[in-house]
């Protein structure tokens, strides 16, 4: 497995990072698949076994405002929305994308959480991706298809929003581990957007430690929760 430093060096050679502070860095690489991206978008929309988990927020049950699917190596499981999701292997449609993500980052994720936002009404609330099964240095590699959407960061614990980045079709956003330590992120609702967007966050599940519920804060908008 690649060390943290060699990943940083490789990414810095490709593009200048966006520095959020506290050593938390983002790299945004546009156009990583080219023409193949549009076909991949339609294939994944149609072929992934999408689910719409229900979660309890302030004592009431709601379906999450998006569709989700966990894709991973056989036996690699991930806990979110109160359920453990088991990896069943990768669909061939993702082979080229996985190779490309590894080529760009040097990292070898063994799972990806897919989210399908049917239109701008679908969203994801403030959270960090720091589950114990991601280990002490969780690199999150986030690939985008379809409608461009804003992605927001704010310092963890402060509520003050610090940065919004537009994530466009066929772009890859890489978050260094410190992003999860010091910042939360969210995909805010954007009512004017009528088109669908699909996001895959590639992750490395490193241990079988006790899974705990994904951390979410519901301050912004209870409908934007997961
Ligand atoms: O849709 C996105 O860009 C964000 C997804 C995300 O933050 C997650 O799956 O943890
Ligand atoms: Fe996330």
Domain ranges for the chain: 4-224
Its CATH class, for the domain covering 4-224, is mainly beta
Q: Which residues line ligand 1 (CB under 6 A)?
A: 113, 115, 124, 129, 142, 151, 167, 185, 187, 199, 201
Q: How far apart are CA 91 and CA 100, in angstroms?
A: 15
Tens digits of residue pLDDT in 110-132: 999 999 999 999 999 999 999 98
**Residue of 79, 186, 187, 203 to mutate, ligand 1, most atoms within 8 A of C-beta:** 187
State which ligand 1 atom lies nearest to the alpha carbon of 117.
1
State which ligand 1 atom lies nearest to the alpha carbon of 140.
10
ipTM: 0.99
Residue nearest to atom 4 of ligand 1 (CA): 187
Q: How far apart are CA 200 and CA 133, in angstroms?
A: 18
Tens digits of residue pLDDT in 59-109: 999 999 999 999 999 999 998 878 899 999 999 999 999 999 999 999 999
Which pTM does this prediction carry? Answer: 0.90
Residue 184, beta-bridge partner list: 154
Tens digits of residue pLDDT in 131-157: 989 999 999 999 999 999 999 999 999
Q: How far is the CA of 129 from the centre of ligand 2 (A)?
A: 5
pLDDT at 1: 55
């Amino acid at each position: 497995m690649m060390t943290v430093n060699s990943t940083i060096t490789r990414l810095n050679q490709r593009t200048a990072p966006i520095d959020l502070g506290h050593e938390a860095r983002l790299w945004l690489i546009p156009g990583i698949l080219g023409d193949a991206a549009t076909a991949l978008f339609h294939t994944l929309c149609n072929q992934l076994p999408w689910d719409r988990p229900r979660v309890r927020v302030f004592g009431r049950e709601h379906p999450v405002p998006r569709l989700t699917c966990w894709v991973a190596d056989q036996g690699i499981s991930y806990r979110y929305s109160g359920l453990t999701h088991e990896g069943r292997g990768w669909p061939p449609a993702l082979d080229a994308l996985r190779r490309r993500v590894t080529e760009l980052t040097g990292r070898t994720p063994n799972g990806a959480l897919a989210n399908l936002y049917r239109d701008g009404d679908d969203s994801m609330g403030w959270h960090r991706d720091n589950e114990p099964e991601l280990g002490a240095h969780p690199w999150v590699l986030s690939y985008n298809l379809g409608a461009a959407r804003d992605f927001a960061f704010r310092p963890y614990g402060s509520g003050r929003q610090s940065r919004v980045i537009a994530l466009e079709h066929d772009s890859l956003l890489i978050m260094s581990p410190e992003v999860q330590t010091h910042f939360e992120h969210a995909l805010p609702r954007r009512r004017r957007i009528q088109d669908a967007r699909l996001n895959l966050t590639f992750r490395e599940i490193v241990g079988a430690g006790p899974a705990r519920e994904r951390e979410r804060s519901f301050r912004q908008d209870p409908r934007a929760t997961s």
